[in-house]
């Protein structure tokens, strides 16, 4: 099932999501499948459950845009273990469509998470993948990437979004 993407302004995006405690259930497998489907449909490379209105600590990532099944990553209850280096490049979010900003982030990120069976694993990503790990974990903590840009830019985005909301052009 393809869910509509929840947009900035909806409180679910700024609420820390709930820890997943039951694994390998049909509901969890369905949620993960629906999240991949919804992400591909929206042309994103990552999606966190709050972005489809479900406040649970589940995120999916596929930077190959479904071209390489080996690049599909499921992160449940993820925790950042270690960050190294620096990178700055453009970042966007399906929940803040139409905006992209330069965001400074660490260059290499090690994350610890559970898979759909509840097994813990650790993995390290660099560049775009490091950015995705941080961006999605932020989502699960109720934080949007625009909190990492200057207050001036953030206010500008807020004002533009408010205008779009008034015009009924912001879901
Ligand atoms: Ni996002």
Q: Domain 11-166 carries which CATH code?
A: 3.90.45.10
d(CA 87, CA 164): 31
**Alpha carbon of 135 to those of 10, 18, 153: distances in Å?**
18, 17, 18
Mind listing the pLDDT tens digit for each residue in 24-77? 999 999 999 999 999 999 999 999 999 999 999 999 999 999 999 999 999 999
Output the CA torsion sign for 90, 112, 10, 95.
Answer: positive
Domain boundaries, the chain: 11-166
Decide if 136 is catalytic: yes
Compute the distance from residue 62 Cα to the ligand 1 centre, in Å: 13
Percentages helix, strand, coil for the chain (3-state, rounded to 5) are 35, 25, 40
How far is the centre of ligand 1, averaged over its atoms, from the C-alpha of 98 (Å)? Answer: 12
Q: Which position among 90, 127, 136, 169 bears the catalytic label?
A: 136
Q: For residue 152, list its beta bridge partners.
A: none
Separation of 171 CA from ligand 1 center, angstroms? Answer: 16
Rounded-to-10 torsion of CA 112, 116, 117, 120: 0
Is pTM beyond 0.95? Reply is yes
């Amino acid at each position: 099932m393809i869910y509509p993407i929840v947009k900035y302004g909806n409180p679910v995006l700024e609420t820390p999501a709930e820890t997943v405690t039951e694994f390998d259930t049909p509901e969890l497998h369905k949620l993960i499948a629906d999240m991949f489907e919804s992400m591909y449909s929206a042309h994103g490379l990552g999606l966190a459950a709050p972005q489809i209105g479900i406040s649970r600590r589940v995120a999916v990532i596929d930077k190959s845009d479904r071209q390489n099944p080996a690049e599909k990553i499921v992160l449940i209850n993820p925790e950042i273990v270690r960050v190294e280096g620096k990178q700055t490049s453009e970042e966007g979010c399906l929940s803040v469509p139409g905006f992209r900003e330069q965001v400074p982030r660490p260059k290499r990120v090690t994350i610890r998470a559970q898979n759909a069976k509840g097994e813990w694993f650790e993995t390290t990503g660099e560049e775009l993948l490091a950015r995705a790990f941080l961006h999605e974990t932020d989502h699960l903590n109720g934080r949007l990437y625009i909190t990492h840009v200057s207050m001036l830019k953030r206010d500008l985005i807020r004002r533009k979004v408010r205008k779009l909301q008034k015009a009924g052009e912001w879901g």
